[in-house]
Structure 1
Amino acid sequence: MLLLEVKNVSKKFGDTTVLKNINFNLNEGEVLGVLGRSGAGKSVLLHMLRGMEGYEPTTGQIIYHVSVCPRCDHVDVPSMVGKKCNCGKEYILKSVDFWNQNEFIYPLKKKIAIMLQRTFALYGERTVGENIMESLTSAGYDGKEATESALSLIKMVKLEHRVAHISRDLSGGEKQRVVLARQIAKNPVIFLADEPTGTLDPKTAKFVHSALTETVIKHKIAMIITSHWHEVIEELSQKALWLESGEVKMFGESKEVVSEFVKTIDSMRKFEDVELKDEILKIENVEKRYVSVDRGIVKAVDGIDISVKEKEIFGLVGISGAGKTTLSKIIAAVLPSSKGTYEFRLGDEWIDMTKVGPAFRGRAKRYVGMLFQEYSLYPHRTILYNLTESIGLEMPGEFAKMKAEHTLVSVGFGEKEAENMLEKYPNELSVGEKHRVALAQVLIREPHLVLLDEPTGTMDPITRNQVAESIQKSRSELEQTYIIVSHDMDFVLNVCDRAALMRGGKIVKMGKPDEIIKILSQEEKEEMLSN
């Protein structure tokens, strides 16, 4: 039965058109995949279907066809028409003009499930079990019914071994599975998944895709999913919608649409070697020890030796738990080491980073920038504000604007594009554009070294190429030095001059990225290589 109609929908942010004349239908239990490069309008479309504030269509209609209980306003799928609600009244069919009427909007929104990229939406201080129980309670379950449903959901997403874990301490893949269980607890009429595995390594992503199949597709819940992995769209969906610059490029059977889309994807561009300068940091025999109740003394970083040259792009690679995040935090002066030496060069002077105080670590720390995987921009402030006032950049307005434009150009925007970008807001940008703005936010502080944490997590192949070019361009124009922490070995192979492979807190191999690939274990290949 027909569940959703999208009719002639367009959306503008200011003078910028992000969606133009979008039309498609979705039946109950059907899965639609949405393809398109970063900036095509995929996320805007899903936010609009969810009813998020500020995403109302400029023109056109979104109509949900659902069954509604006239007594208690409970909303369900259209096939429930004529059947009895829990309150005893029969469901009737309603066509809800989602953005143009008030009746039934609130109960309908409660039945629309969504998983967003980069957003886990969990109660961080509560356990996995408590998070799922809370969602069931909000959906109207209580007592034994709620407990039985919670147990069923926990088994469904295969988290029996994490029931008592505090949610903030889970891995990214585990958090996404908790989010999935919480959303399924709503007994939704439709499930919207916006890059649900974008921040995950390939191995963990496959696990979450499997969980989506078990919890959504096999239960015949209608789903619209976006993904930068076209294989996912082909595997999970029956139909596909290809968006390009906000317009429908193609709509039809998923295999046919994916086949045409793949033809437009270029292989990753190769970059020429550049001449490196002198060493900028030296680390010798560095350790980081923790005390665990269960395991005693744990060495998260164990006897590391690294030196990085100015203008070098250095990769730090390894599977989850290898120690690369801990080491990167030591380099960024976020964590102190337990043992060893760490020196950072400012001009001609070497600074001892193991010593605290304004003459040592405090002095050098401001010259080390870090872009975290979960970066954020102020959503209700312009890009100019995000690049200047929000980070305390103190200089006259015109100088700040000039510097902001120059930095945006250095990460790959054209001069006119950079000028126009300054008055835009983050929600008007694509994922790739936001990432480059976030990188500009780090670079505008004029650091000597930048650490990037999983810079390609949520990106389609085209956007990955853009980010690779922004890193190379800023290296060239700003003489920037990078350390890239990543499980994306394909990206490291393309972008980095050298890389270090970590296992169990140790560096087992350092050299050219193509040398690292040759010694990867089967587990590392599954987690770090896309094919």
Structure 2
Amino acid sequence: MKFITLKNISKSFNGVQVLKDINLELNEGETLGILGRSGSGKSVLINMMRGTKEYAPDSGEMIFHVAICPKCLHVEAPSKAGEKCPECGETLELRDINLWDCDRLEFNAIKRRIAIMLQRNFALYDEATVIENVLKAMGDEGEYEERIYKALDILDMVQMNHRVTHIARDLSGGEKQRVVIARQIAKNPMLFLADEPTGTLDPQTAETLHQNLQDAIKDKGITMVITSHWPEVMEKLADIVIWLEDGEIAHSGDPVKVVESFLDTVPVPKKVESHEHGAPVVKIEDVKKHYYSIERGVVKAVDGVSLEINEQEIFGLVGLSGAGKTTLTKMIKGLTEPSSGKVSIKLGDDWIDMSQPGPLARGRVIPYIGLLHQEFSLYPYRDVLGNLSNSISLDLPAEFAKIQALHVLEAVGFTSQQVSEILNKYPDELSEGEKHRVAIAQVLIREPNIVMLDEPTGTMDPITRVIVTDSILKARDELKQTFIIISHDMDFVLDVCDRAGLMRGGKLLNVGTPEEIVKQLTSSEKEDMLKNQ
């Protein structure tokens, strides 16, 4: 049964057209997959379907064919027409509603029945427990005990039942992402929108969550629209796929055929050739980071890690969410101190102990270390040029800062034409993939000795990922930089890293070539999955 119809939808921001005459139909219970490069219009289309007012179309119609209660305006999917309203008992009537040209009450009624999960959005109640976050999403309907059991079932579904009473702020990025998904499932939507829901998760967790979406959304007949950079997601979940290119539907139809066409455009990255490394510049000696939590007891975030990283080396840290990778990089940066052990960074001829505060200790090194957090943010009230020029220094000539900004934006994959288009844009005018590349540029423009990137490709399409891979290799060669990269993207690790280390449970299990570590990670994941069955 027809559910959503888009007719000649177009949208522009500041004179730049981001959607051009989009026409498509989505049936009830179908899953629509959206492919496309960063900035192709995927997120704009999803936000428009959500009813986000900033994304209202300039022209065209977005028609929802729904069953609506004439008395209380409760909305259900169209197949429910003729049934009794679960709110007031009236008979639901079939109606076609143009979302962007309808009564305000009808608009809000439809919007309440749509759940959305945005890229890199960890919007949770930080001080509340995991289960409290899910309960808040459910509302107050029904018996409290029933809601508790339903919340526990959902958390088990997304493999977060072991974190039920943990405070949200203490979770890793991947764990937060799973709680966000649980909150959206708890709303029992008629339409589920997912914009790169697993972009920053490790492969095992991502595969599990894709299965969760299959079980909890698709198999229950809930209509879903999903964007993803994982080709297998399109092939597994989507019934129909559209490929957006510069705001237009370049190709649509069978998921396998559309994905193949899209991947044919992905360039082959330059492989890491044998690169001559210098002496060690990072020494980690039996480092531990333990802390006590009332809810969790003693938490061993990092537990006895020893490691050396060489000058001009690209070193990858891989492992499941919560393995301790991010905590370890924060200690290298000097953002947190180890409970025991020692982290030393070489600056010139001196070794600096990063546990020692002050301008003559770690204060000397911090300016030479660049870090891109997984939960990065840009200055919202500065344009792209302002975000980058402020990262260098306010004392430098404006023209110099602009030249540096142009250079570094091209280094992270923007063409010269794209650079001129985005330079004066503000962050809320960029796609998530564009924001991510600007954030990487913020780090690189400072020309640090050591660059640490936490999930640098989490929101990137395959084409942009290859460009960033080449950019990192180029930066290493030209600027003689050392890179420490945290990633769940195994192809990226294989393409860009010289060595890699596998972490699990706060421990560094092994260090070797990327190929050796990826094989061990895969086998370890299989073992974990067997243990959890």
Fold match, TM over 0.5? yes
Partner AA of 1:368 in structure 2: I
Provide the residue aligned with 1:48 in structure 2.
Answer: 48
Q: Does 1:142 align with 2:141?
A: yes
Secondary structure (helix, strand or coil) at the match of 2:53 reads coil
CA shift at 1:11, angstroms? 1.6
Q: From the superposition, tell whether residues 181 and 297 of structure 1 become closer, same or farther in structure 2 (CA, over 3 Å).
A: closer
1:109 to 108, 111, 121: 111
Moved more, 256-265 or 111-120: 256-265
CA shift at 1:267, angstroms? 4.3
Q: From the superposition, tell whether residues 56 and 173 of structure 1 become closer, same or farther in structure 2 (CA, over 3 Å).
A: same
Moved more, 53-62 or 516-525: 516-525
Provide the residue aligned with 1:337 in structure 2.
Answer: 338
The alignment yields a C-alpha RMSD, in angstroms, of 2.8
Equivalence map 1:36-185=2 (5 Å): 36-85=36-85, 86-103=87-104, 104-137=106-139, 141-144=140-143, 147-158=145-156, 159-185=160-186
Q: Does 1:456 align with 2:457?
A: yes
Structure 2 distance, partners of 1:119, 1:381, is: 21
CA shift at 1:287, angstroms? 3.6
Moved more, 417-426 or 118-127: 417-426
Deviations 1:431-470 (A, max 9, x none): 4332221011112233221111122223332222122122
Equivalence map 1:106-505=2 (5 Å): 106-137=108-139, 141-144=140-143, 147-158=145-156, 159-290=160-291, 298=300, 300-309=302-311, 311-389=312-390, 393-505=394-506
CA shift at 1:304, angstroms? 0.7
Q: From the superposition, tell whether residues 478 and 75 of structure 1 become closer, same or farther in structure 2 (CA, over 3 Å).
A: same
Structure 1 distance, partners of 2:10, 2:299, is: 58
8 Å CA contact retained: 1:411, 1:473: no
8 Å CA contact retained: 1:156, 1:211: no
8 Å CA contact retained: 1:73, 1:107: yes
Secondary structure (helix, strand or coil) at the match of 1:83 reads coil
Gaps of 5+ in 1: none
Deviations 1:164-205 (A, max 9, x none): 332333454543443334323433221111111111111101
CA shift at 1:257, angstroms? 2.6
Moved more, 239-248 or 417-426: 417-426
8 Å CA contact retained: 1:384, 1:422: yes
CA shift at 1:350, angstroms? 3.3
Structure 2 distance, partners of 1:519, 1:253, is: 35
Secondary structure (helix, strand or coil) at the match of 1:33 reads strand
Structure 2 distance, partners of 1:508, 1:152, is: 37
Secondary structure (helix, strand or coil) at the match of 2:494 reads helix
CA shift at 1:46, angstroms? 0.3
Structure 2 distance, partners of 1:163, 1:345, is: 42
Partner AA of 1:135 in structure 2: A
Secondary structure (helix, strand or coil) at the match of 1:366 reads helix
8 Å CA contact retained: 2:440, 2:456: no
8 Å CA contact retained: 1:432, 1:467: no
Q: From the superposition, tell whether residues 352 and 160 of structure 1 become closer, same or farther in structure 2 (CA, over 3 Å).
A: closer
Structure 1 distance, partners of 2:189, 2:283, is: 54
Moved more, 200-209 or 514-523: 514-523
Structure 2 distance, partners of 1:353, 1:203, is: 34
Secondary structure (helix, strand or coil) at the match of 2:55 reads coil
8 Å CA contact retained: 1:241, 1:252: yes
8 Å CA contact retained: 2:155, 2:164: no
8 Å CA contact retained: 1:410, 1:477: no
8 Å CA contact retained: 2:202, 2:319: no
Structure 1 distance, partners of 2:177, 2:507, is: 29
8 Å CA contact retained: 2:413, 2:464: no
8 Å CA contact retained: 1:157, 1:215: no
Secondary structure (helix, strand or coil) at the match of 2:363 reads helix
CA shift at 1:489, angstroms? 3.1
Structure 2 distance, partners of 1:521, 1:184, is: 29
Partner AA of 1:490 in structure 2: D
Secondary structure (helix, strand or coil) at the match of 1:54 reads helix
Deviations 1:318-343 (A, max 9, x none): 33444332221111111222344433
Q: Report the TM-score when normalising by structure 2.
A: 0.89
Moved more, 464-473 or 127-136: 127-136
Partner AA of 2:398 in structure 1: G
Report how many residues are paired.
523
8 Å CA contact retained: 1:132, 1:150: no
Structure 2 distance, partners of 1:456, 1:504, is: 24
8 Å CA contact retained: 1:286, 1:305: no
Identity of aligned residues (%): 53
Provide the residue aligned with 1:21 in structure 2.
Answer: 21
CA shift at 1:101, angstroms? 3.0
Provide the residue aligned with 1:9 in structure 2.
Answer: 9
Q: From the superposition, tell whether residues 256 and 384 of structure 1 become closer, same or farther in structure 2 (CA, over 3 Å).
A: same
CA shift at 1:383, angstroms? 0.7
Secondary structure (helix, strand or coil) at the match of 1:17 reads strand
Structure 2 distance, partners of 1:365, 1:30, is: 51
